[in-house]
């Protein structure tokens, strides 16, 4: 099986990559490894939707993959989830894609610039209704996500986006990865570990080290099950 792993930063997957056998160095963003019987390409895109969409589209156009996996950290709106918990994002959307109408936000679908069910969207969302069959992946909590250019840190904007989309987690890359995989028709999964709760920015309350450690362990288990 040929697998593509996508991450925004090297930090998020450093421990995972250390457990793989490197076979070739393809350049700044893409490197190739082996893990058991699988060929594994690791793509480090850089932070944000634009970088993720551009790099994923290029790599997916050049090589046919059997599976694509996005590993990264996220913030959680849902206080029933735990810090450092690893989750499977099965639904995502680009939260800022739309227009302001005074105090109101109008989605791209409400502007009639994109249909609710226009590919690759379903009911205005990017959804993964048939994720890859994988024992570790199947054990993860499935959550709804949003993808943003600016992570939330002000209560009024947190309240507004929560009312609008009812998200459980947010990232800066997830929807771009899912969009690219759906266009390329490659089976995929977006897997994230919760580094912090979405609130007024408070780095002292984050648990980044454990989140990354748990993410790496889960990612390696997913590869073992692939």
Res 27: pLDDT: 64
- Round to whole Å and give the CA distance between 86 and 215: 6
Two tokens at 170?
Answer: 């947010």
Which residues lie below 8 Å from residue 70, measured CB to CB, with a gap of 6+? 5, 6, 7, 173, 174, 177, 178, 188, 189, 190, 191, 192
Q: Which residue is listed with tokens 């897997």?
A: 191
- Round to whole Å and give the CA distance between 150 and 55: 20
Sketch the domain layout of the chain as residue ranges. 2-225
Q: Phi then psi for 72, rounded to 5 degrees?
A: -170, 180
Q: Does domain 2-225 have CATH number 3.40.50.1580?
A: yes
Q: Which residue is listed with tokens 């912090």?
A: 196
pLDDT by position in tens, the chain (length 226): 999 999 999 999 999 999 898 776 666 789 999 998 999 999 999 999 999 999 999 999 999 999 999 999 999 999 999 999 999 999 999 999 999 998 889 999 999 999 999 999 999 999 998 899 999 999 999 999 999 999 999 999 999 999 999 999 999 999 999 999 999 999 999 999 999 999 998 888 899 999 999 999 999 999 999 8
- Round to whole Å and give the CA distance between 225 and 17: 17
The whole-angstrom distance between residue 24's C-alpha and the CA centroid of its chain comes to: 25
Specify whether the CB–CB gap between 165 and 145 falls below 8 A.
Answer: no
Res 22: pLDDT: 77
- Round to whole Å and give the CA distance between 149 and 172: 6
- Sign of the CA dihedral running 192, 162, 90, 186: negative
Specify whether the CB–CB gap between 74 and 152 falls below 8 A.
Answer: no
Two tokens at 60?
Answer: 């997916």
């Amino acid at each position: 099986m040929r697998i593509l792993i996508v991450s925004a930063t090297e930090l998020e997957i450093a421990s995972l990559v250390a457990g793989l056998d490197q076979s070739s160095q393809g350049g700044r963003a893409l490197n190739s490894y082996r893990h058991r019987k699988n060929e594994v390409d690791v793509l480090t895109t850089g932070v944000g939707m634009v970088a993720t969409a551009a790099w994923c589209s290029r790599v997916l156009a050049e090589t046919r993959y059997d599976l694509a996996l996005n590993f990264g950290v996220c913030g959680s709106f849902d206080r029933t989830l735990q810090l450092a918990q690893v989750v499977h994002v099965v639904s995502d959307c680009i939260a800022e894609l739309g227009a302001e109408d005074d105090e109101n936000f109008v989605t791209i679908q409400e502007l009639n610039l994109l249909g609710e069910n226009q590919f690759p969207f379903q009911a205005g969302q990017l959804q993964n209704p048939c994720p890859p069959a994988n024992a570790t992946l199947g054990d993860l909590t499935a959550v709804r996500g949003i993808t943003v250019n600016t992570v939330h840190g002000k209560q009024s904007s947190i309240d507004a986006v929560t009312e609008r989309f009812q998200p459980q987690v947010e990232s800066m890359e997830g929807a771009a990865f899912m969009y690219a995989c759906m266009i390329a028709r490659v089976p995929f999964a977006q897997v994230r570990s919760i580094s912090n709760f979405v609130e007024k920015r408070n780095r002292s309350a984050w648990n980044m080290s454990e989140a990354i450690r748990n993410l790496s362990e889960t990612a390696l288990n997913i590869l073992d099950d692939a």
